[in-house]
């Protein structure tokens, strides 16, 4: 009996492929890329039953070659890299994988807050150069305790951030236009619902946890940075295009806000001349907040389970609604 073929749409190191294969069902075969190349994707997608998508673009041009494709399985929840209109016309379902994302991103959010507050990169790099900054960093280093954390977006990840932030002794505010939170859950998490404008005005830390849509694209810009406290910091572990990077650079350079921690960018990877690289009040990581071995195992287990449902004639779960 021939095996169901699954194409992993991003090129990755062999040890990443081994983690993926460790969760592969017995009657499935993993197809991988030899390099990050659209021509190779077009060739290999022809004979596969499923694709797993991380950051690779899924375009109409690519999908024309997908003659057997039964399901597009995104290994995360943000599917702005998929041409949904083309997929809809072709009648191919898109499955999402919320499993394995929330905890890693929430932990990374706390990591970035602390790293920005404690000047971690400056302290580390200076020490390697023989500089002992035991006292010079103190005037601009802070604790989370007693600060106000504003969460813009309060879905799965926003809630996980709130759970981890609460023991630090912060006041936690949130704004979400679409998600209802019961009074009991608000009390359990220790959070207050507030308007977007008040989040900006009252928060020492503004952290983004919303999807990228036409409504949210560029939501953090010159106007919203000016509405924040001068001592506030911005954290973005969601999507790069939520933030106008040019405006953020100006806000950081001119100290309109105090700092930022970013795991995502408008263009990924960012170009080497990105002006943010020149600043000492921003900490940058390469879209790795959910990039742990633990998360990858959980994601692949859930992704393959969805594909198995399809092979059994069952309806896959966590589908994108067209």
Q: Which residues are catalytic?
A: 239, 268, 287
Chain position carrying tokens 């041409």: 83
Q: What b/e readout covers 278-307, taking b as 16+ CB neighbours within 10 angstroms?
A: eeebbbbbebebbbeeebbbbbbebbbbbb
Angle between helices 156-165 and 102-117 (to 10 degrees): 50
Structure tokens at 17: 């492929």
Q: Which of 122, 78, 80 is nearest to 96 (CA)?
A: 78
| Separation between Cα atoms, residue 49 and residue 38, nearest integer Å | 18
Q: How far is CA 131 from CA 114, 134, 137, 253, 281, in A?
A: 21, 9, 12, 24, 18
């Amino acid at each position: 009996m021939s095996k169901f073929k699954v194409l992993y749409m991003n090129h990755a190191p062999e040890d990443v492929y081994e983690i993926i294969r460790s969760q592969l069902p017995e009657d499935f075969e993993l197809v991988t890329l030899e390099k990050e190349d659209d021509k190779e994707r077009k060739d290999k997608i022809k004979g596969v039953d499923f694709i797993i998508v991380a950051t690779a673009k899924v375009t109409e041009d690519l999908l024309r070659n997908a003659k057997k494709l039964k399901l597009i399985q995104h290994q995360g929840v943000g599917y702005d890299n998929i041409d949904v209109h083309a997929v809809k016309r072709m009648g191919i379902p898109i499955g999402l994988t919320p499993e394995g994302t929330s905890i890693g991103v929430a932990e990374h959010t706390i990591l970035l807050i602390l790293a920005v507050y404690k000047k971690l990169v400056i302290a580390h790099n200076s020490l390697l150069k023989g500089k002992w900054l035991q006292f010079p960093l103190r005037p601009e280093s802070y604790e989370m305790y007693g600060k106000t954390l504003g969460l813009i977006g309060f879905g799965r990840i926003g809630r996980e951030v709130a759970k981890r932030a609460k023991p630090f002794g912060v006041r936690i505010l949130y704004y979400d236009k679409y998600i209802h939170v019961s009074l009991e859950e608000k009390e359990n998490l220790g959070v207050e619902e507030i308007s977007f404008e008040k989040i900006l005005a009252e928060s020492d830390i503004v952290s983004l946890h919303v999807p990228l849509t036409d409504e949210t694209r560029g939501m953090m810009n010159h106007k919203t940075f000016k509405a924040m406290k001068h001592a506030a910091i911005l954290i973005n572990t969601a999507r790069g295009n939520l933030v106008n990077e040019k405006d953020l650079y100006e806000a950081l350079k001119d100290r309109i806000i105090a700092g930022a921690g970013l795991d995502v960018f408008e263009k990924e990877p960012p170009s080497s001349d990105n002006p943010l690289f020149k600043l000492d009040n921003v900490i940058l990581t390469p879209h790795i907040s959910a990039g742990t071995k633990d998360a990858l195992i959980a994601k692949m287990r859930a992704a393959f389970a969805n594909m198995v449902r399809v092979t059994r004639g069952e309806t896959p779960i966590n589908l994108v609604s067209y």
